[in-house]
Structure 1
Amino acid sequence: MINRNMLKGLLFCVTATAATLTCSADSLPNVIYILADDLGYGEVGYNGQEKIQTPELDAMAAQGMRFTNHYCGNSVCAPSRASLMTGKHPGHAYIRANSPGYPDGQTPLPEGTETVGKLMQRAGYKTAIIGKWGLGSTWDSGHPNQQGFDHFFGYTDQRKAHNYYPEYLWRNSDKIMLDNGKGKKNDYSHDLMTVEALQFIDDNSRSTGSGQAAQPFFLYLAYTIPHTSYQVPDLAQYENEDWPMNMKKHAAMTSRMDRDIGVIKRHLEALGLAENTLIMFNSDNGAHGQQGSLQFFKTSGELRGKKRLMYEGGVRSPMIAYWPGKVPAGSVSDHLSSFWDMLPTFSELTGEPVQGETDGISMLPTLLGNEAQQKQHKYLYWELYEGVPNQAVRMGKWKGVVSDRRKGMKIELYDLSADEGEQSDVAAAYPEVVSEIRKALIEAHEPSPFWSKDNQPLFDAQAACEVNGVQPMVLKQKKRKK
C-alpha cells in the first residue's frame, strides 16, 4: 500500500521527469534554505567581491546554479521575510514594513496564514527555523511553532538580533540563558545557530529502522550576519589588513558565515545526505552600507543603492542553488524570480498544494535545468512604507521606480539590459513603457490596514495588537512572569 508521502514522492518524480531527474518513490529531498541578513549582491566572490573571502559559497556557486535576476521580498527585513514565508509580494503581503512600535519586535503573522513551514509540514517534513525570525513573538500568533515550524532556535525580536552576544535566545518557547552580559561575551549567537543546525540535521538523518529513509527535513537557517552591530570573536585572516577596524570585523563576520556554510555542506556529505539535499542561499535585502562598507567593499557591486531603497542594490539577491546531480553544475540563470516564488517552488517540489493564493511561480524547472518549461512573471512588484515610502516594478528588461510616493507616482525608468547600475532615467523617451509600469503599480497594490498613503501608521502599538488579538500589557506581564 502506498502511503501519503510515497505518493508525493511519485508525484515529484513524475513532475521532474522532463528535467531528467530520478528519485525513489519513498524519498523526498531535504531542503536547507540559508538566508543572510543585509548581505549585498556584490559581497560574495562569485559576484565579483575582491576583499572579502567567501570560498565555500563560491565553490557551491561553481558546482550549482547562480542567479543573476533573483530578488528579495523587499528592501528591508521584516516585509522581505514575510514575502518569503507567505508567497505574497509586498502589494498583497500582510507585513510591508518593520513594525511601528509593536511589542517584541514585529507585527505577527496572523493565525491561519499559509506559510512555507506549514506547506512543508503537510508534505511530511520535519521543519525548523534557526536564527532570526522577526515575524512574531513568543506570545502571539506569529510564533514559529504556530506558523509551521516544529523547532525554533534564535531570536523572535529582530531588534534584539542586532546584538551577537545577547543575554538569551529562544528554543521554541523556552528562554535559553547565555553566558553574556555584565561585561561577558562568551556565547556568540551565530556560532550557536550553526551548532543547532548541525544537531537538527543529525536528529533527522537517522534511519527509521524500517529500511526506509528517515523523515525528510526542511531547515530555514536565517543567519544574522552581516547585519550590524560589528561583533565577532576574532578577525581571522583579516587581522593584519591595513583596514579600519569595523571593516575587518565586517569581513571576518561574512567569512565566518561562509566557513560555517561549508561545515554544514561537508556534514551532509559525511552523512550521505548531500545528493538528496537542495541547498539555497539568499540575502533578505540589499547591503546595509554602514560606516562606509558600501564604498569600501563595493557590497552592492555595480548596482545602485542599498537597503531600504528600491534600486537594484536594495532588492537584488545573491542567490545560488546547490544540489549535486540535480541542479546543473556551473550554470547561470537570468530567470526573473523572487522570494514569493519559494512557496510554489516547494509546493511543486513536494507535491503538496498551496492552500490559498500566491503571487509566486514555481521555479523548479529552472532549478532542474529545464528552463524551456519555466513559466514567467509578467512583472515583479515592491512597495515599502519605511522611511521614504517607495515602489518599484521589474518588467522584463525595464525597471520602474517611484522613489517617494508622497510626491505622487513620478516614475523613473531604467533599461537594465543597457544600464544595470540605473544611472540614466529614460522615462521621457519611452512613455508607452512608463504607462505599462504605472498600470502594474496600480494593479499590484492593495491598501494595507497598518499604513496610510503618506507613510503614517494607521494604528498605534495598542491598536496593532488589538488587530491581532493580543494586548501589549498582557505581553509585558507574561514576559515578567517568564
Structure 2
Amino acid sequence: MKLQTILIATAFLGSSWGPGRPGENEKPNIILIMADDMGYGDLGCYGQKMIQTPNIDALAKGGLRFTTYYAGNTVCAPSREALLTGMHTGHTSIRGNFLTDEKEDPAMPSEKVTVAELLKGAGYHTALIGKWGLGGEGHSPETQGFDYSYGYLDQIQAHNYFPPFLYENGKKVMLDQNADGKKGAYSHHLFVDKTLRFLESSAKEPFFLYLPYTIPHGEHVIPDNSAYAGKDWPEQFKNYAAMITQLDSDIGRIMQMLKEKGLDKNTLILFTSDNGANPGFAKFFRSNGVFRGNKTNLYEGGIREPLIAYWPGKIKAGQVTGHVAAGWDVLPTICQAAGIKAPAGIDGVSFYPGLLGTGKQVIHPYLYWEYYTYNYNWNKPDATMPRNWLDSRALRFDHWKAVVKSTPTDLAGKIELYDLAKDSTETTDLAATHPEVVKRVKELMQSATKANAPYFPYKH
C-alpha cells in the first residue's frame, strides 16, 4: 500500500527525525497544525477581506472546508487538552486558563492518554513545536508521549515573542540573541526553522508532528509588518494582520518543502485554531465572522473555528461541509487514519469517513463545553471574588444551541436557547417559548460533566 502522509494544521512542528518517504511505511505520517487566537473569519476562504492568506486559501480550494467545526474551548489550555485527549471540557482536567501558586499552568495529569502516546505505541516518532501550555518543567511534552519538543511550556511565557529562553526536550535553552531584553530572535521564526529542518531530514519510521504555533496570539508584535505598512490602521491591527499573513507564508514554505521531498501528494493537511479572536479584532477585521462573541465566551464567535482538510488524490477538491465536529474529534480521526483504535470512553467521534467520502460518518448526539474564568486579582488585599469560578457552559444538539452564563453567586445561571438553523448569530433567545428543549438541555448538561478537575473550581 502506498504511504499516506497526514498533515493536520493547528500550530506545532519540529523533530530530530525526518519524514518517511512514500513506499517506505505502511502507516501514514501525520502533521497537526493549530493557530493561536485566530478567529473563524480571519482567512480569505472564510470571508476575510482585509488580511491576505493565499496559501491557506489554496488549501481550502484544493480540499475540504468545514463550516461547523468547534474548538475544544474558548481559551488556550482546555482547548489543547481536548484536542490531545479526545475529551470535551466536561471531562478534561483543565477547564480554563489558570495559574498555580508556582505561577505556571497546571499540569495535565500523567494518567491522561494523549494522541501522541497512542501513536508512539504504534511505532510513530512523535514531535511538538510551539506552545505546550499543559504543564511546566517536569510536566513537558515528553511526559505525554512526545519524543521531541521545542517551544514554550507555559502560556504566560508564550506572550513574549522574544523570550530569553525556550525549552527543547523539556530542558531550558537560553537564547543569547534575546538576552538583556534584546530582540534578536523571534520565536515563531525559530519554530518554522525547526519545522523545515525536520522536513529536510529523512527516516524510515512514520512520524506524528504537532504544531501549536503561537501567532497571532498577543502580544501582537512582529519584526516586519510591511505587508500592511501603507494601511491607515492602528499599529496593533497592522501587526495582527501581518502575523496571520506570516503564518500563511510559512505554511506555503512547508508545502514547498513537502513538494521538494516528494511528500505533497501523500499529505493530508488539517488547519484550525484553538479559540476565537479577541473583541477588538472581531470588530475591526470581523475576525470571528458574522458570529456573536469572542475569546473567553461560549457564543459561536468564541468557539467556532476554521478547519480545512487537504489531501490530493484522497479528498475531492473544492468541497464544503456542514458536518458538525469539534476539537475532541481530532484524536479519533488521527487514530483511524493511522490504522489504530481510539480509546474506549472518549467523547470524540472520528470525521475521517467524511474526509474521504467513504464509510459511515457518525454524528454527535451533542457537543458540550464548560469554561472557568480565572481571577488574576484574587490575592489582592481588597479582592472579594474567588480565584476562579464556572463562567459559562454551552451545549449544542441538532440545530439547538444553549448557553448558560454563571457568576460566583449564581452558578446555575440562566439558560439561553438559540436555533442555529435560523439564527446563527445567536440574537433571539427562545428559552421561554421552548420549555421542552430547555428541559432536555438541563438533562444533557447534568450528565455531560464530571467533577474530576481539581483546579476547577479551585477550593483550597
TM-score with structure 1 length normalisation? 0.85
Structure 2 distance, partners of 1:149, 1:424, is 45
Tell me if the contact between 2:25 and 2:206 (Cα under 8 Å) persists in the aligned partners: no
Structure 2 distance, partners of 1:437, 1:288, is 28
Structure 2 distance, partners of 1:163, 1:115, is 27
Gaps of 5+ in 2: 7-21, 375-389
Name whichever structure is richer in strand by fraction: 2
Aligned counterpart for 2:362 among listed residues 355, 358, 375: 375
Which deviates the most, 404-413 or 181-190?
Answer: 404-413
SS of the counterpart of 1:404? Answer: strand
Determine the structure 2 residue equivalent to 1:130: 129
Q: 1:236 aligned to 2:226?
A: yes
Aligned counterpart for 1:184 among listed residues 182, 185, 198: 182
Determine the structure 2 residue equivalent to 1:282: 272
Structure 2 distance, partners of 1:297, 1:264, is 26
Quote the offset at 1:445 in angstroms: 1.0
Determine the structure 1 residue equivalent to 2:335: 347
- Residue type matched to 1:320 in 2? I
Deviations, residues 228-284 of structure 1 (Å, cap 9, x unaligned): 101101113101111111111111111001100111011101100112222211100
Over 3 Å counting, the alpha-carbon distance change for 1:78 and 1:102 in structure 2 is farther
- Residue type matched to 1:440 in 2? L
Determine the structure 1 residue equivalent to 2:459: 458
Q: Give RMSD over aligned pairs.
A: 2.0
Structure 1 distance, partners of 2:69, 2:150, is 28
Q: How many residues align?
A: 426
Deviations, residues 374-394 of structure 1 (Å, cap 9, x unaligned): 001000000011156110001
Determine the structure 2 residue equivalent to 1:404: 406
Determine the structure 2 residue equivalent to 1:333: 321
Quote the offset at 1:436 in angstroms: 1.3
- Residue type matched to 1:398 in 2? W
Deviations, residues 36-56 of structure 1 (Å, cap 9, x unaligned): 110011111111011111111
Determine the structure 1 residue equivalent to 2:82: 83
Gaps of 5+ in 1: 1-5, 13-22, 207-213, 460-482
Aligned counterpart for 1:154 among listed residues 151, 156, 161: 151
Name whichever structure is richer in helix by fraction: 1
Determine the structure 2 residue equivalent to 1:143: 140
Structure 2 distance, partners of 1:326, 1:122, is 26
Aligned counterpart for 1:358 among listed residues 333, 346, 351: 346
Determine the structure 2 residue equivalent to 1:392: 394
Determine the structure 2 residue equivalent to 1:194: 192
Structure 2 distance, partners of 1:130, 1:323, is 22
Aligned counterpart for 2:296 among listed residues 295, 308, 312: 308
Runs of 4+ with deviation above 6 angstroms: none
Q: 1:256 aligned to 2:208?
A: no
Deviations, residues 120-175 of structure 1 (Å, cap 9, x unaligned): 11222111110000111222xx3201111111000001110001000011111332
- Residue type matched to 1:145 in 2? E
Quote the offset at 1:101 in angstroms: 2.3
TM-score with structure 2 length normalisation? 0.89
Determine the structure 2 residue equivalent to 1:438: 442
Which deviates the most, 57-66 or 271-280?
Answer: 271-280
Aligned counterpart for 2:258 among listed residues 263, 268, 272: 268
Structure 2 distance, partners of 1:159, 1:40, is 20
Tell me if the contact between 2:36 and 2:214 (Cα under 8 Å) persists in the aligned partners: yes
SS of the counterpart of 1:149? Answer: coil
Structure 2 distance, partners of 1:201, 1:25, is 16
Determine the structure 2 residue equivalent to 1:418: 422
Tell me if the contact between 2:353 and 2:360 (Cα under 8 Å) persists in the aligned partners: yes
